[in-house]
């Protein structure tokens, strides 16, 4: 079946469909990971986006039930150069095409993903439509132009849990995770670091979080424009100084806004498993997993209160920050390493240390 990916600027890519048939809208982004397509598909941060993979052959190791990062795929569409119809891996339980079809995700193969990637780098991330139904180019371009995009939209309400749940029962430190689209490996790594984890909906008030008597709060990753999440930002602001806070990706951006800073949209975002980030204090460089289209503007933060801890070596954007007095820190990248390297997992240990110090401080007073 034919499929067309049409961008709002009139650029057209024709290919063949795999997965579900239909018509989906989203901002088109490219991901530079060579593997990990299943983790990418099931990352809730991709809600509202059509993902194209820069690596040419996708689907060759199939799909299994263990490598998911959430309950289902959240991407709006999936574009690849070549889809492997043969899934060859001892862990494979079904093909990628069947998995996409089962979850109503439209896929397209046979397009020139190198040209698409270069176009995004030059023109920026664009609104797009991926269709197997309407194959009229002018009609699709108009639909892409008329689609809502990401700026100003609250996409978190579509990915957050609906009620509080306990991830695990045991742990020395009680951590409340504010779920804006949390990846499962974040919860697993908290559990592995001796934390008892409670996951609460993004709309949860600060008083309700405090009533759970947490040792720490984790602000999770998630999709869309952080500036649109006024409720979560206010909750974060009210929790400052009350409990140690660790922000990841969208959580980092919301923390930046809660601290009085501003965010801005990147031209083509950071999506992939090979982004170099430098620890400003130690000089050590970590290869990190990234997935975000917005960034905190360090120049809008109070430097007397907030210090930069990490910087992106590709474009010098802010990748991490810490409050100079309060036990509050965050990173723009993903330390939970799924998919990707393990370089940044130490940050979960840093979070545990901040909770340990905070608990000791409370005992002294």
**Both tokens assigned to 220:** 């999770």
So what's the pLDDT on residue 365?
A: 72
Whether the CB-CB separation of 48 and 128 falls below 8 Å is answered with no
Q: What is the CA radius of gyration of the chain?
A: 20
Pairing mode, strands 195-201 and 173-179: parallel
Q: What pLDDT does residue 301 have?
A: 97
Q: Which among 329, 312, 303, 173 has a CA at the least distance from the CA of 246?
A: 329
CA-to-CA dists, residue 127 to 66, 229, 269, angstroms: 32, 21, 14
DSSP string, 306-319: EEEEEEETTT--EE
**Below-50 pLDDT ranges, the chain:** none
Tell me what pLDDT residue 339 has.
75
For 122-176, the DSSP string reads: HH-SEEEEEESS---HHHHHHHHHHS--STT---GGGTS-SS-EES-S--SEEEE
Segment 257-283, tens digit of pLDDT: 999 999 999 999 999 999 999 999 999
Tell me, which fold does domain 2-146 have in CATH? Glucose Oxidase; domain 1 (3.50.30)
- Give residue limits of the domains in the chain: 2-146, 156-364
**pLDDT of res. 337:** 77
Categorise residue 209: left if φ over 0, alpha if ψ from -120 to 50, beta otherwise.
Answer: alpha
Q: Indicate left, alpha or beta for 157 from its phi (over 0: left) and psi (-120 to 50: alpha).
A: alpha
Of 262, 201, 200, 260, which Cα lies nearest the Cα of 226?
Answer: 262
Catalytic residue check, 69? no
Q: What is the pLDDT of residue 7?
A: 98
Q: How far is CA 201 from the centre of its chain?
A: 17
Distance CA 259, CA 278 (A): 23
CA-nearest of 263, 273, 243, 257 to 338 is 273
Closest CA to 215 of 91, 112, 105, 353: 353
pLDDT at 295: 97
Predicted model pTM:
0.95
- Give the active site residue among 39, 249, 295, 319: 249
Q: Kindly report the CATH class assigned to 156-364.
A: alpha beta
334 is catalytic: yes
User: What tens digit of pLDDT does each residue of 321-345 get?
Assistant: 999 999 999 999 999 977 788 888 9
Determine whether 336 is an active site residue: yes
Secondary structure letter of residue 183 according to DSSP:
-
Question: What is residue 340's predicted lDDT score, i.e. its pLDDT?
Answer: 80
Q: In 8-65, where do the E strands start and end?
A: 12-19, 23-31, 49-53, 57-58
Q: Is 16 left (phi over 0), alpha (psi -120 to 50) or beta?
A: beta
């Amino acid at each position: 079946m034919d499929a067309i990916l049409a961008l709002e600027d009139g650029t057209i890519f024709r290919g063949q469909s795999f997965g579900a048939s239909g018509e989906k809208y989203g901002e088109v982004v490219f991901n530079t990971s060579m593997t990990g397509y299943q983790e990418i598909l099931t990352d809730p941060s991709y809600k509202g986006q059509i993902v194209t993979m820069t690596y040419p052959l996708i689907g060759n190791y199939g799909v299994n039930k263990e490598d998911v990062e959430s309950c289902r795929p959240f991407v709006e569409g999936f574009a690849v150069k070549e889809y492997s119809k043969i899934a060859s891996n001892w862990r494979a339980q079904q093909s990628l095409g069947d998995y996409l079809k089962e979850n109503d995700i439209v896929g397209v193969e046979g397009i020139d993903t190198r040209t698409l990637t270069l176009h995004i780098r030059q023109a920026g991330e664009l609104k797009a439509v991926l269709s197997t139904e309407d194959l009229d180019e002018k009609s699709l371009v108009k639909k892409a132009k008329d689609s809502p995009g990401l700026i100003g939209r609250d996409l978190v309400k579509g990915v957050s849990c609906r009620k509080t749940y306990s991830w695990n029962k045991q742990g020395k430190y009680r951590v409340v995770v504010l779920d804006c689209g949390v990846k499962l490996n974040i919860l697993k790594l908290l559990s592995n670091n001796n934390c008892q984890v409670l996951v609460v909906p993004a709309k949860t008030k600060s008083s309700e979080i405090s009533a759970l008597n947490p040792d720490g709060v984790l602000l999770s990753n998630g999709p869309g424009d952080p500036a649109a999440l006024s409720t979560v930002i206010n909750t974060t602001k009210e929790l400052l100084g009350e409990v140690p806070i660790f922000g990841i990706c969208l959580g980092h951006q919301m923390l930046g806004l809660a601290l009085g800073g501003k965010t801005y949209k990147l031209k083509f975002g950071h999506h992939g498993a090979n982004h170099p980030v430098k620890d400003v204090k130690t000089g050590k460089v970590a290869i990190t997993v990234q997935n975000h289209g917005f960034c905190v503007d360090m120049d809008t933060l109070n430097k007397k209160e907030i210090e930069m801890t990490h910087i992106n070596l590709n474009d010098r954007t802010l990748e991490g920050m810490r409050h100079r007095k309060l036990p509050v820190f965050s990173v723009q990248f993903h330390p939970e390493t799924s998919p990707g390297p393990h370089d940044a997992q130490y940050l979960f240990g840093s979070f545990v240390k901040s909770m340990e110090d905070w608990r000791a401080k409370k005992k002294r007073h």
